[in-house]
Amino acid sequence: MTLHEVIKTLYKFSSEILILANENGILGFLNKEDIIAGLNQNLLLDQVISVYQKSINQLEISRSYRDIPILDVKAKDIDLISKEEILFEKYLDQSLMNVDFKIIFENLVLPMVLFSRFGKLLFINNQMRGIIGIDDENEVIGLTKEVFWGMFEREGKLVKRKNERFKVFSQIIIVFNFKLESCILVRV
Average pLDDT, the chain: 87
Q: Each residue of 37-67: pLDDT tens digit?
A: 999 999 999 999 999 999 988 887 766 667 8
- Whether 111 shows a pLDDT value over 80: the answer reads yes
- Judge whether residue 97 has pLDDT over 60: no
How large a percentage of the chain has pLDDT more than 70? 92
Instruction: Report how far residue 70's alpha carbon sits from residue 101's, in angstroms, rounded to the nearest whole number.
Output: 25
Q: Which of 29-33, 47-51, 100-104 has the lowest mean pLDDT?
A: 100-104
CA distance 46 to 66: 26
Query: Which tens digit of pLDDT belongs to each residue from 160-175?
Result: 998 899 999 999 998 7
For residues 51 and 89, the model is more confident at 51
Provide mean pLDDT across the span 81-97. 71
Domains in the chain, please, with CATH?
3-91 (3.10.580), 99-187 (3.30.450.20)
Report H helices in the chain: 3-12, 32-40, 45-52, 83-91, 101-105, 126-132, 145-149
SS3 for 163? Answer: coil
Q: What is the mean pLDDT of residues 152-156?
A: 90
What is the average pLDDT across 58-86?
Answer: 84
CB 97 within 8 Å of CB 84:
yes
Distances (CA, A) of 146 to 18, 120, 152, 178: 28, 9, 10, 21
- For 123-147, b/e burial (b = at least 16 CB within 10 A) is bbbbbbbebbeeeebeebeebbbee
Residue 83 pLDDT greater than 90, yes or no: no
